[in-house]
Structure 1
């Protein structure tokens, strides 16, 4: 099928989720090198301060040192509770070390009491903190000197770069609520949905596009993504239970497909809704990253080959 007849060119990256990623430096290096060798578009690390997930930015800087092609993303970087200057400095440093391959996605973080406590921010302050901090982070990454007065921070003539823009072009955002969608339309350059069905992604895109137009912004139609878990043969009971507990109104089969046919349906249906970027997270940690990532990538290739709507971009 051609673009004119409805096919969307999509990119599929690999996410490592919120669990432990490695037992050693050698294992993580093998994982990262396998992501690039098996043809994935990108590698994504999530943030969970109070869990066994590695800190994304230093881990991605390490990944950049042993790769040359794949893009490297955060899904997501938590903003509330952090100094925008410190965060902008870390992002600028990581972007430099990633040779411009860094793709940061920002959000409020996991809705857990332990996480809020770890970031030292109250639930009611998370949104306002984000609203005030992200524009400051953007200005700092663009190389500007910034003065800002906020109830969360005070900045006077601060610059974190040598005056040149950091090699970060777009600031994407996560979230599914109406407030988060409108915030994305107002402050972001792209949107990453997580654990969503096609009706939810379609509605999210419509809300963002409509609100962006209302406030005089144009949102790139290719800047919509989805993070989702995938199981090749059987969805682990722990994943099914997690999905039913966190998303009781949603079908686990739509949120975490099992097998190539279900994967094809997810890629097809969300592509038709307007998603062009996908982050596939293995439903369970493999024993052998190299062979597992090759098999997962083959599933993606086969699913898109059979697809009526999605084709892999190369």
Structure 2
């Protein structure tokens, strides 16, 4: 079992009351990025354009900007968007951003993408959530062409351009890591209790499936089986696409499950709000005692997961040290 660990930066857009506190948070972010580099963790950042009452208690900073900042502070860590909401973006502008980040980071960027789920975000940029899948596929195709071809032209349902050259082009197309999976149906967020064929085809054309923390462990493993079956139906091996997972976590070493959950409660409420029960949050996210957290990750690794993005619920540097001490050795036996 060898599982590479990436870290979701805690780039929470906390409401702060003073310039001094804001400056302190930026300082802590710098220290956090450097500690990830020192511990051998890759660096990922979340994309949420707006606050999303009902699922999260806060917003996040813009991810391409954050990763550009991280690129200047690191030399080895891969830098991934987990997960960039593609339908909110213009493919030509996005390709330029990726090419810039690729150059500034010595091509360490991982193109983690997804279709998004918040109707308000789509409305705010003049699109509609019903178009999210088609727009996602179109942008992936357009960005691939823009980052690999000079004088590129493209004609799609939503986007078109003619004779466009992104300069400088990266020496290679960044790896594409695609999200998507079944979720407990929610009429407000267009979720489905199965994986549509369009999502499976998107995953099959990617380098990795970055599975989300959107339900129970059983649901996640069921989805991975579905992905493997679909790959086989296309004549591909079941491991043609890398199995990765992303999830929020807070470690409480040395504490019992009840003690750990009590300690983690306030952090979970701040990140996720009060709209879902704490019991439901425990099903979705890596909460509880360290043995329980490690058991869940180990089970995924036994089923083929070889990469995990962990998102600490605070910007406490001790959380990175806890991951390095209590999880990293066990996941790399």
Whether TM exceeds 0.5 here: the answer is yes
Alpha-carbon shift at residue 226 of structure 1 (Å) = 0.8
Task: Give 5+ residue unaligned stretches, structure 2.
Answer: 15-20, 52-58, 183-194, 253-262
2: CA distance, partners of 1:206 / 1:226: 14
Correspondence 1:174 to 2:179: yes
> What secondary structure, in the 3-state scheme, does the structure 2 residue paired with 1:269 have?
helix
Deviations 1:72-127 (A, max 9, x none): 11101111132211111111111111112111201112x22321223321011111
Alignment of 1:119-198 (within 5 A): 119-162=125-168, 164-177=169-182, 178-179=195-196, 181-195=199-213, 196-198=215-217
Name the counterpart of 2:264: 235
Native 8 Å contact 1:47 1:53 kept in 2: yes
Name the counterpart of 1:87: 94
Q: Which moved more, 1:50-59 or 1:197-206?
A: 197-206
Deviations 1:133-192 (A, max 9, x none): 211111212234432222312211222134x54444410111113126414334322111
Name the counterpart of 2:72: 65
Name the counterpart of 1:23: 22
Alpha-carbon shift at residue 200 of structure 1 (Å) = 2.6
1: CA distance, partners of 2:285 / 2:327: 16
Native 8 Å contact 1:35 1:43 kept in 2: yes
Native 8 Å contact 1:243 1:252 kept in 2: no
> What secondary structure, in the 3-state scheme, does the structure 2 residue paired with 1:232 have?
coil
> What secondary structure, in the 3-state scheme, does the structure 2 residue paired with 1:264 have?
helix
Alpha-carbon shift at residue 257 of structure 1 (Å) = 2.9
Instruction: Decide whether aligned partners of structure 1 residues 62 and 240 sit closer, same or farther in structure 2, where only a CA change above 3 A counts.
Output: closer
1: CA distance, partners of 2:235 / 2:150: 24
- Which of 69, 81, 96 is residue 74 of structure 1 equivalent to? 81
Instruction: Decide whether aligned partners of structure 1 residues 185 and 174 sit closer, same or farther in structure 2, where only a CA change above 3 A counts.
Output: closer
2: CA distance, partners of 1:251 / 1:31: 25
2: CA distance, partners of 1:264 / 1:138: 37
Alignment of 1:6-17 (within 5 A): 8-16=1-9
Alpha-carbon shift at residue 220 of structure 1 (Å) = 4.3
- Which of 302, 326, 331 is residue 299 of structure 1 equivalent to? 326
- Cα RMSD of the aligned pairs, angstroms, is 2.9
Name the counterpart of 1:262: 292
1: CA distance, partners of 2:273 / 2:286: 8
- Which of 192, 201, 208 is residue 220 of structure 2 equivalent to? 201
Instruction: Decide whether aligned partners of structure 1 residues 230 and 248 sit closer, same or farther in structure 2, where only a CA change above 3 A counts.
Output: closer
Name the counterpart of 1:272: 302
**How many residue pairs end up in the alignment?**
293
Alpha-carbon shift at residue 198 of structure 1 (Å) = 3.4
TM-score by length of 2: 0.78
1: CA distance, partners of 2:310 / 2:88: 28
2: CA distance, partners of 1:215 / 1:248: 41
Alpha-carbon shift at residue 27 of structure 1 (Å) = 2.4
Instruction: Decide whether aligned partners of structure 1 residues 254 and 155 sit closer, same or farther in structure 2, where only a CA change above 3 A counts.
Output: closer
Alpha-carbon shift at residue 67 of structure 1 (Å) = 1.0
- Which of 286, 311, 314 is residue 332 of structure 2 equivalent to? 311
> What secondary structure, in the 3-state scheme, does the structure 1 residue paired with 2:111 have?
strand
Name the counterpart of 2:61: 54
Q: Which moved more, 1:66-75 or 1:173-182?
A: 173-182
Deviations 1:199-240 (A, max 9, x none): 233222222233233335556457111111112233225637
TM-score by length of 1: 0.82
